[in-house]
Structure 1
Amino acid sequence: MTGIRGDGPIVRHDGKSNSRSELIRAAQRLLSQRPPSAITGKQIAKESGVHYGLIYHYFESKEALFLAAMEGLTSEYIKHRESTVDRSQPLPPLTFSGHELWWRAAANYSADGGASYASLGWTYPVLNHELKQILEHHPEVSEFEAKAHIVREVCLNFGWMFFKDTLQEGMRLTGDQMAELGNLISTA
């Protein structure tokens, strides 16, 4: 049963909404707004428009729902990188354009020092994928150089995700200026 994706809920071809997908998308949006420990099942139900009890019909726990949410965002981001990154460049940027939900959710998961990631049994797939790709395509780059590059990119992007609103206000930047800065940061 394939869904039709738009701005609204995923709808199956038979016209019925797909509650599981709606729960995942709601969890993704909420994870992009706050750490997982600050999200309740009731908030997920409200955000998704799905009855609270269905969370536990489709997922064994809230953490299992969060894992599905993060796996979906991560899969989309890695697929995007595989099709768009110029691997002739030894240390390509980890862009966030078009993947702000993943970056915000990853930043919120990281906010507690990694305990939330540990609860998922997370293996940092984007970071490890990127490390593997750099080392595979550029054996001249040391593992430490590649890791340092990834760390710098993550710190820059997490900072942008967390502080861009404050920076816009504090520096009196227009929306167009913020978009230009975001493009510069995302491709630097």
Structure 2
Amino acid sequence: MHDVCSEPIHTNPTANDPLSGRGRLVDTTGRWLAQRPPSAISARFLAKEAGVHPTFVGQCFTPLSLLFEQAHNALAERFMGDIEVDDVLMQVWTEPQALAGHSDYWRAHVHLMLDDIDVHLARDHPVQHLQRAIARHQPRQSSIKGAGLAAAWWSMQIGVLVFERPLDQGFGVTPANKARVKRQVHAVIDALIRGRTPRLQKTSIVTAAEQLPPFGPAEGRQGAEHALLRAAMQLFCERVDVGVSGRELSKLADVNYGLIHHYFGSKEAVFDQAFLRLHDHYVEDMMSVPSYKRSQRMTQHESFLRGWAARELSGSALPSIELKGMRALLQQLIERRGIDRRNNMAMAAARAQSYAVTAMLLGWTLCRPLLSTALQTDESTLLGYLLAIQDHILKEKFQ
């Protein structure tokens, strides 16, 4: 008997042979993973979109996470197939947005990172290819430093792509100056990947817990509201909220399901209020510490940053996000260097460098467990190198 599940997958839409049912399913799943988190995609929905019977999905992919993993792998193969690592020039790896032309890949990748789905993203990850390329290009460099540089590159790519809109807004990047800023970001990445960081030494890391807003003791209605908000904040670290049911939320909060609608009106309103509280706490906390402590402090607001990333990807309406930290970082750089704001080149360099390091830390907060696994280096070591890279970038001019 012919096993349809063993048919080869033809994921190239330009292939001469028509896609097999299994191939159509994998291809369709990849497209939808770029638009939605996996917890918001059902097997029945994918079967309908791919034009196959719902039972076919279960026959070939049980659990459904296997389908998500194959779809992601197919997108990753296309990305890797379109680039060639030149051991001398490594031009693709020094592009400010090497992933930008593969939006389905990076969006699916981030959705899978944000959702608690059993998918092995670290296997043959592109960052491992970059790590090996750096090692070949700089054979005398320590492998740990190479891992730090690779982590910085990947984090910067993800940070720029996910948070491009707020980064542009926070650092004053406009259509008029964007090309100039992009060239300066290219110079920053080029210097890192080509090994022009001889004095780079890992920064010591002080381990700290996730920063969440405080809730005072409360009973009755206020106690139930606080429990739901705390549960929503906890879920931001594990899931994309659109894929969380109201019953899951109420169970985690240990409150009656009906209270969600009674007190908030909807499950979505609970997550929206939780996000607003996280945002206010983030701004207050970041501005309450000295500027030299803000970078590491940012990485301790994982719930807020993951919730923010999911909202940026979905294109959903966002509250007004205060970008005080970005503006303060740029202003400090301008003042320290004595830059005349009429000097377009110097301003572009300052914008690019502050933009690049902020994108790197935002991306790191989303990717840190994956990068630690893929690069076989503990998180504190990688973050130590990222903070050292930040200091190096902000001290250099790259003009």
Give yes or no for TM over 0.5: yes
Superposition pairs of residues 112-151 of structure 1, within 5 angstroms? 112=115, 115-116=116-117, 119-125=118-124, 126-151=126-151
Q: State the secondary structure of the residue aligned to 1:107.
A: helix
- Show the counterpart of 1:79: 81
5+ residue gaps, structure 2: 1-7, 190-399
Deviations 1:54-84 (A, max 9, x none): 2123323311111111111222222333x2x
| Structure 1 residue matching 2:163: 3-state secondary structure | helix
CA offsets 1:3-42 (integer angstroms, 9 cap, x no match): 6733xxx6736xxx52211111111112222332232213
Q: Cα 1:121–1:96, aligned 2, differ >3 Å: closer, same or farther?
A: closer
Residue in structure 2 matched with residue 12 of structure 1 by the alignment: 17
Number of the residue aligned with 1:56: 58
Question: Following the alignment from structure 1 to structure 2, what is the Cα–Cα distance between the partners of residues 40 and 23?
Answer: 12
Distance 1:163 1:2, change over 3 A: closer
Q: State the secondary structure of the residue aligned to 2:99.
A: coil
**Among 111, 118, 134, the residue aligned to 1:108:** 111
TM-score, normalised relative to structure 2: 0.37
Please state if 1:28 is matched with 2:30: yes
Q: Deviations over 1:107-150 (max 9, x none)?
A: 122224xx53xx23443422222212321342133223322222
| CA shift for structure 1 position 48 | 2.5
User: In the alignment, residue 53 of structure 1 is paired with which amino acid?
Assistant: T
Structure 1 residues 147 and 52, CA, compared in 2 at 3 Å: closer, same or farther?
same
Consecutive unaligned residues of structure 1, counting only runs of 5 or more, are none
Q: Which amino acid aligns with 1:27?
A: T
Match of 2:94, as an amino acid? Answer: P
- Residue 186 (structure 1) shift: 7.5
Moved segments of 4+, more than 6 Å: 168-172
Query: Are the equivalent residues in 2 in contact too, given 1:104–1:158 (CA < 8 A)?
Result: no
Decide whether aligned partners of structure 1 residues 40 and 166 sit closer, same or farther in structure 2, where only a CA change above 3 A counts.
farther
Paired with 2:180 and 2:108, the residues of 1 have a C-alpha distance of 21
Seen in structure 2, the aligned counterparts of structure 1 residues 130 and 35 have a Cα distance that, compared at 3 Å, is same
For 2:17, give the aligned amino acid: R
SS in 1 for 2:35: coil
State yes or no: 1:162 paired with 2:165: no
1:93 corresponds to:
94
The one-letter code of the counterpart of 1:150 is A
* Contact 2:112–2:119 (8 Å) recurs in 1: no
* Secondary structure of residue in 2 paired with 1:145: helix
Change (3 A) 1:144 1:111: same
Cα distance in structure 2, aligned partners of 1:105 and 1:5: 18
User: Higher Cα Rg: structure 1 or 2?
Assistant: 2
Instruction: State the alpha-carbon separation in 1 of the partners of residues 181 and 55 from structure 2.
Output: 40
Aligned residues: 174
Cα distance, 1:161–1:41 mapped onto 2, change above 3 Å: farther
Find the partner of 2:39 among 34, 37, 40: 37
Q: Is the 8 A contact 1:19 1:50 kept in 2?
A: yes
Q: 1:90 to 1:108 in 2, by over 3 A?
A: same
What corresponds to 1:66 in structure 2? 68
Q: Hey, what's the Cα distance between the residues in 2 that align with 1:181 and 1:22? A: 42
Is residue 96–residue 186 contact of structure 1 (8 Å, CA) maintained in 2? no
CA gap of 1:72–1:2, structure 2 versus 1, over 3 A, is closer
Q: Residues 35 and 109 of structure 1 are in contact (CA less than 8 Å); yes or no, is this contact kept in structure 2? A: yes
Give the secondary structure class of the aligned counterpart of 2:82.
helix
In 1, Cα distance between the equivalents of 2:177 and 2:28?
Answer: 30
Contact 1:97 1:186 in 2 (8 A): no
TM-score by length of 1: 0.70
Percent identity between matched residues is: 22
Find the aligned partners of 1:103 and 1:147 in 2 and give their Cα distance: 20
